[in-house]
Amino acid sequence: MMEYSYTDLSKMIDHSLLVPTMTTEDFEAGIQLAIAYDVASVCIMPYYLKRCAELLSGTGVKASTTIGFPHGGHTTEIKRAEAERAIADGCEELDMVVNISQVLSGHWDYVRKDVKAVIEVAHVAEQKVKVIFENCYLNDAQKIKLCEICSELGADWVKTSTGYGTGGATHEDLKLMREHAADHVQVKAAGGVRDLDSLIAVRELGVSRCGASRTREMLDPLRKKLGMPEINLGTIAANKNDNPNY
């Protein structure tokens, strides 16, 4: 553990604020927690993104949100419009869900055009895209095909899951995605990485980002081991922020 610096690990975390029962007070507290722990980004519901981006400005923590979330069934035109609005509201990283139905149907031209539409919007604005597969519903051949499409289109990350499907990131899937995604495409784990040991384990598989709602629980043990001061921000409605699948 000690071979990693604090920011090596804290900057892997996209702090997730996506549970539908969260209030604006929960969002405000969650954003402050993300700033205090110096994570990579806050991934927040689209309607609160603009306020989130304002609070994160100048902190080194990026503002991110979701596109086509959580089932990917929005039309491509709606996903493009969501991406445009997110960019206008200050989004720096967009987590988009593929059209899962079209993946399962084998309609790869549709899937490619759907993903391309969002990547184009983001890259024109010099922002980044994470493409969510929702691996719990897919077989390995489908996951590999998605990695190939994302590599071809220049996606910035391929991501295992939304955290709201029937399962999350597995080591087997992470190895598969790292093997079949091009070197310029990073891998993000979402769902199931809930403590420091798990975070380190996925890093060693080649993962550069991890979606997390348990940021405090993951990073407090690291801060303690490194002799860093304790962060005390009070309790953030754990029953709302903790997604059991994340």
- Reply yes or no on domain 6-241 having CATH 2.40.70.10: no
pLDDT exceeds cutoff 90 at 234: no
Q: For the segment 78-91, what is each residue's pLDDT rounded down to a tens digit?
A: 999 999 999 999 99
Between the CA of residue 229 and those of 36, 48, 189, 219, 226, what are the distances in Å?
11, 30, 28, 12, 9
Q: Give the pLDDT band (50/70/90) at residue 3.
A: confident
| pLDDT at 235 > cutoff 80 | no
Q: Which of 177, 174, 225 is nearest to 203 (CA)?
A: 174
- pLDDT, position 232: 87
What is the DSSP-derived secondary structure letter of residue 136?
G
Alpha carbon distance 129, 184 (integer Å):
13
Active site residue 188: yes
State the average pLDDT over residues 41-60. 98
pTM: 0.94
> Can you give the pLDDT at residue 244?
54
Active site residue 159: yes
The answer on pLDDT for 238 being more than 90 is no
For residue range 112-165, list pLDDT tens digits in order.
999 999 999 999 999 999 999 999 999 999 999 999 999 999 999 999 999 999
At 237 the pLDDT is: 44
Helix or strand (DSSP H, E) at 151: helix 140-153
Mapped onto helix, strand or coil, the DSSP state of residue 114 is helix
Domain ranges of the chain: 6-241
195-232, pLDDT tens digit by residue?
999 999 999 999 999 999 999 999 999 999 999 999 98
Question: Which of the residues 128, 143, 159, 173 is marked catalytic?
Answer: 159
pLDDT digits 0-9 by tens, 145-160: 999 999 999 999 999 9
Contact 214, 194 (CB under 8 A): yes
- The answer to whether 143 and 174 have CB atoms below 8 angstroms apart is no
Which pairs from 169-172 meet CB under 8 Å and 24+ separation?
A: 169/135, 169/193, 169/202, 169/210, 170/135, 171/201, 171/202, 171/205
- Of 146, 148, 123, 145, the closest CA to residue 133 belongs to 146
pLDDT score, position 47:
98
Q: Give yes or no: 62 in active site.
A: no
CA 119 – CA 209 distance, rounded (Å): 18
Place of tokens 């405090």: 216
Q: Are 43 and 211 in contact (CB under 8 A)?
A: yes
Active-site pick, 14, 62, 79, 95: 95
Q: Indicate which residue of 62, 128, 145, 188 is catalytic.
A: 188
**Does residue 172 have a pLDDT over 50?**
yes
